Amino acid sequence: MLKIYIPRLKAPVAEDKKMYVIGVEGMTCKNCMNIIESSIKTLDKDAEVGIDLLKKEVRVQTSRGPQEIRDVLENKGYDVISLIEQ
């Protein structure tokens, strides 16, 4: 099994999961980080989430699709400005 190590996340990307780098506008504080992480975890309880407020970037390792991630963040009031699969 090929393992890809991603800095800032705890585990290697599993074969059944994908890594997304998401540009998010509207994140300003720790509360925003908690909302974003818990929202993504409602989609996939095993998702790994890394958030960088200064870069306005969220890294997600999940088995869910990009549109589902976009929808859950936008439903919480955040603007997804980019979503790239790595």
Query: For 17-38, what is each residue's pLDDT tens digit?
Result: 999 999 999 999 999 999 999 9
Q: Does residue 4 have a pLDDT over 50?
A: no
CA 2 to chain centre: 22
Domains of the chain: 18-85 (3.30.70.100)
What number is the average pLDDT over the span 63-79? 97
Cα separation, 9 vs 13, whole angstroms: 9
Query: For 46-55, what is each residue's pLDDT tens digit?
Result: 999 999 999 9
Answer with the residue of higher pLDDT: 5 or 28: 28
Q: What is the DSSP string of the chain?
A: ---B--TTSSSPBPTT-EEEEEEEES--SHHHHHHHHHHHHHH-TT-EEEEETTTTEEEEEESS-HHHHHHHHHHTT-EEEEEEE-
Residue 52 phi/psi, 5-degree rounding, is: -120, 105
pTM for the whole thing?
0.80
